[in-house]
């Protein structure tokens, strides 16, 4: 089976992990700090704060931004549940805006319509590796004093007009095992805002400023040096990773172009796509439906994935939640019924990607 994600660790990474083990400092220590500095430097932001996963990154970021119970947050219903869970955990209210068909991300027009007097923050989710239309979003939010938390979990170092995802106000990244950069579990918060950064550092470590001096009711959201050691080498060769992913995406976009009923993902002008996923849309005009195509691919030994089969707003646990507003998002609803992601990861061989494209063409052209 050709997997949808693949992880390979080189000797250098293994050596870095072993040296952490030998140092005897395995919890948060100097290697986490090294990771934070390297991540901030690569992104060109003042602060990167490492935490134990992408979900706590979101919730601690919101908390440090001053979001609390009753505050209204607007986001996309077409995302991983963590985006919404992090906000609900703080007692915030969720209102959904629709997405744009071009990039699967929150539509600036729909966002503008959804804004109310109570809106405190927007969480644009940069889905599948491509940043949202941040310049339009900023135009809408800046005059209204609405804060922005970018959920860049799937889009490390994606950018629009050279402004990198997560550098607008506050941004978060996941380091989960399937993401473009990983430590198994892990997360990073980025910001240029000094007070948000110091608040996150405080909250991450039990609200402790110095040993046993508490300034807030905090959490234990610390990342470990063992995990940071896994991430550092990936950060060093991240550009190569993205190049490999981009080449695969380019290949698919050329060889799958023009197939009836198939809509290919777009790389939008002025934006850097880091190809976390290559997500097809199988429309009603295709000779097979999505599950038939996925079954044909599986028969041929090709894994595929549906991210995400339903909108968050369609699950009853969210639909009936007192803090989730029911809004209709027709574009997101349609897109969720059409998406199918195929392997685009850097470990894919040329032969494999040709085989994947040929299989899809054959199955859909017959
Ligand atoms: C993975 C992901 C998260 C959560 O990250 P974890 O590290 O799994 O907690 C949040 N939002 C999005 C969009 C994600 O893809």
- DSSP letters of 259-298? -TTEE-----TTEEB--S-EEEEE-TTSSS-HHHHHHHHH
Atom of ligand 1 nearest to the CA of 58: 10
Structure tokens at 15: 């050596």
Handedness of CA 236, 239, 240, 245 (dihedral sign): positive
- Give the C-alpha separation, 192 to 199, whole Å: 13
Question: DSSP label at 303?
Answer: -
CA of 213 to the centre of ligand 1 (A): 32
Could you tell me which of 268, 252, 266 has the C-alpha nearest to residue 304?
Answer: 252
Which atom of ligand 1 has the smallest separation from the CA of 82? 10
Each residue's pLDDT, cut to its tens digit, for the chain (366 residues) gives 999 999 999 999 999 999 999 999 999 999 999 999 999 999 999 999 999 999 999 999 999 999 999 999 999 999 999 999 999 999 999 999 999 999 999 999 999 999 999 999 999 999 999 999 999 999 999 999 999 999 999 999 999 999 999 999 999 999 999 999 999 999 999 999 999 999 999 999 999 999 999 999 999 999 999 999 999 999 999 999 999 999 999 999 999 999 999 999 999 999 999 999 999 999 999 999 999 999 999 999 999 999 999 999 999 999 999 999 989 999 999 999 999 999 999 999 999 999 999 999 999 996
Yes or no: say if 167 and 288 are a contact pair by the CB < 8 Å rule: no
Ligand 1 interacting residues, C-beta cut-off 6 A: 53-55, 79-80, 82-83, 125, 151, 153-154, 174, 176, 187
β-pairing verdict for 93-96 and 170-174: unpaired
Rounded CA-CA distance 27/155 in Å is: 27
């Amino acid at each position: 089976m050709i997997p949808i994600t693949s992880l390979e660790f080189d000797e250098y990474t293994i050596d870095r992990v072993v040296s952490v083990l030998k140092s005897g400092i395995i919890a948060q220590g100097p290697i986490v700090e090294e990771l934070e500095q390297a991540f901030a430097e690569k992104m060109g932001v003042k602060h990167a704060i490492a935490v134990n996963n992408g979900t706590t990154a979101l919730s601690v970021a919101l908390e440090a931004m001053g979001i609390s119970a009753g505050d209204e947050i607007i986001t996309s219903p077409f995302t991983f549940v963590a985006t919404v869970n992090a906000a609900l955990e703080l007692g915030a209210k969720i209102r959904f805006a629709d997405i744009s068909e071009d990039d699967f991300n929150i539509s600036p027009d729909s966002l503008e319509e959804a804004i109310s007097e109570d809106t405190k923050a927007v969480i644009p989710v940069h889905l599948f590796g491509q940043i949202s239309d941040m310049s339009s979003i900023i135009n809408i939010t800046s005059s209204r004093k609405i804060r922005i938390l970018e959920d860049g979990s799937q889009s490390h170092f994606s950018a629009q007009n050279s402004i990198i995802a997560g550098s607008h106000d506050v941004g978060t990244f996941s380091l989960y095992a399937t993401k473009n950069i990983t430590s198994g579990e892990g997360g990073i918060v980025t910001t240029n805002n000094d007070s948000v950064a110091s608040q996150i550092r405080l909250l991450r470590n039990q609200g402790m400023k110095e040993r046993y001096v508490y300034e807030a009711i905090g959490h234990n959201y610390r990342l470990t040096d063992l995990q940071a050691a896994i991430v550092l080498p990936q950060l060093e060769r991240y550009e190569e990773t993205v190049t490999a992913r981009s080449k695969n995406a380019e290949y698919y976009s050329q060889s799958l172009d023009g197939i009836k009923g198939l809509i290919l993902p777009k790389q939008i002008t002025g934006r850097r796509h880091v190809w976390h996923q290559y997500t097809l849309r199988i429309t009603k005009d295709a000779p097979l439906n999505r599950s038939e195509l996925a079954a044909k691919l599986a028969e041929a030994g090709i894994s595929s994935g549906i991210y995400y089969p339903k909108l968050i707003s369609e699950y009853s646990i969210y639909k009936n939640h007192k803090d989730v507003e029911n809004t209709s998002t027709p574009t997101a609803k349609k897109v969720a019924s059409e998406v199918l992601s195929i392997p685009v990861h850097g470990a894919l061989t040329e032969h494999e990607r040709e085989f994947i494209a040929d299989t899809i063409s054959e199955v859909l052209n017959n």
